Structure 1
Amino acid sequence: MVRACDACQTLQPSQQQEPLMNNDNPTNPFESISANFFVVTGKALFVVADCLSAWPVGKPCKGDTTTSNTIRIFCRYFCEASVPLCLRTNEGPQFTSIDFKDFMKRWGV
């Protein structure tokens, strides 16, 4: 009915929601994770979320989002939690740098 309505088609949102893409199907917690930096109530956090359960883990980062600090945070995370098989990010500069890619490759991510 909506597809046949000219007014509905004219007034529909211009930016359609993208389909949800799930490239992997994790079977264990923290096997596949998403990570990013956030500022909440003036505090900078590094947040990792498990793709299976959506469980978040936040670490204070004091606003330092450089590649070297990102690598240090991941080193601690890997030792405290586990090393994931898959990592998703927003592809910010700290996540796309050669140093970070080499670090992930060494850890098998």
Structure 2
Amino acid sequence: MTFDIKTTKKHSNADALSRLLVPIGNEELNEESYDVTELYMIQQLDSLPVSSKEIQRETVKDTTLKVVYDMNASGWPASANNLNEALKAYFTRRNEISIYQGCLFWGIRVIIPQNIRSRVLEELHEGHSGIVKMKTVACILVWWPGIDKDLETLVKSCKGCQDNRPMPPEAPIHPWEWPQRAWQRIHVDFAGPFQGSMFLVAVDAFSKWPEVVQMSTTTADRTVDVLRRIISRNGLPDSLVSDNGPQFVFETFQDFMKYNGFVM
């Protein structure tokens, strides 16, 4: 028995599977290539409450964005000295601004013209999700100079957003320590006006004994004089508690406490 040895190139009985898996000749597979960036831009535009055609049309009508569009296409000036304040906001971002389908983009965010910004704000505001959620969504989709301020103004003027906003946590109650003796700590404040007069009220925290003095003026000097008489009858306290009104933080009153050896 003899064998006819052939090289692989001379084989003509290749199976069908190998022919299906290997491209014939050097022809490439007929696959459509996609630009990932282009697909993302299309998705961004489709996510907006306004169409890309409308954004393109309003961009041309917007006096500021028309200039930005032209400068982005033809070249930005070397400095912003001759630009107005509205254009300076775009000049600082000039290296991140691009054009797609006649629409301006800052990074991945679509720059919305002035005339249709209110519609975009209404869409962001739908559901009264709150300022944090609205800013988060805006950071993904849209931008224009002052958008954060516009969102904050919208939320502050919306009663529904104010009613649904989370309340701040309650501060823990810190009770006063009970004094060990009478006149150790006194609490002072002004009451009035009543019938044209003010009243200085000093209460002992231990015995709850009140001292009430009618006053025609409530200056720091007059307050020191009244407290000096009260202390002369009851003794020097260790501490004095007030609401830090102007009389109690004035230099005259601070010197009075320092010389008498008690603190506020």
Q: Residue 222 of structure 2 corresponds to which residue in structure 1?
A: 69
Q: Which region of structure 1 is more displaced relative to structure 2, 35-44 or 72-81?
A: 35-44
Q: Distance in 2 between matches of 1:46 and 1:108?
A: 21
Q: Residue 202 of structure 2 corresponds to which residue in structure 1?
A: 48
Superposition deviation, residue 41 in structure 1: 4.2
Identity, % of aligned pairs? 25
Q: Distance in 2 between matches of 1:82 and 1:54?
A: 15
Superposition deviation, residue 54 in structure 1: 2.3
Unaligned runs of 5+ in 1: 1-9
Superposition deviation, residue 88 in structure 1: 0.1
Assess if the C-alpha contact under 8 Å between 2:199 and 2:212 holds in 1. Answer: yes
Q: Distance in 2 between matches of 1:27 and 1:20?
A: 18
Q: Does 1:59 align with 2:213?
A: yes
Deviations 1:20-55 (A, max 9, x none): 442x44211111000011016434211001112322
Q: CA 1:94 to 1:14, structure 2 compared with 1: closer, same or farther past 3 Å?
A: same
Match of 1:35 among 188, 194, 197: 188
Give SS of 2:207's match: coil
Q: Residue 7 of structure 1 corresponds to which residue in structure 2?
A: none
Q: CA RMSD in A?
A: 2.4
Unaligned runs of 5+ in 2: 1-163
TM-score by length of 2: 0.33
Higher strand share: 1
Higher helix share: 2
Task: Give the residue type in structure 2 aligned to 1:72.
Answer: D
Task: Give the residue type in structure 2 aligned to 1:102.
Answer: D
Paired residues, number:
97
Match of 1:79 among 228, 232, 236: 232
Give SS of 1:72's match: helix
Point out the structure with max Rg over C-alpha.
Answer: 2
Deviations 1:65-95 (A, max 9, x none): 1000011011111111111001000000100
Q: CA 1:38 to 1:85, structure 2 compared with 1: closer, same or farther past 3 Å?
A: same
Assess if the C-alpha contact under 8 Å between 2:211 and 2:230 holds in 1. Answer: no
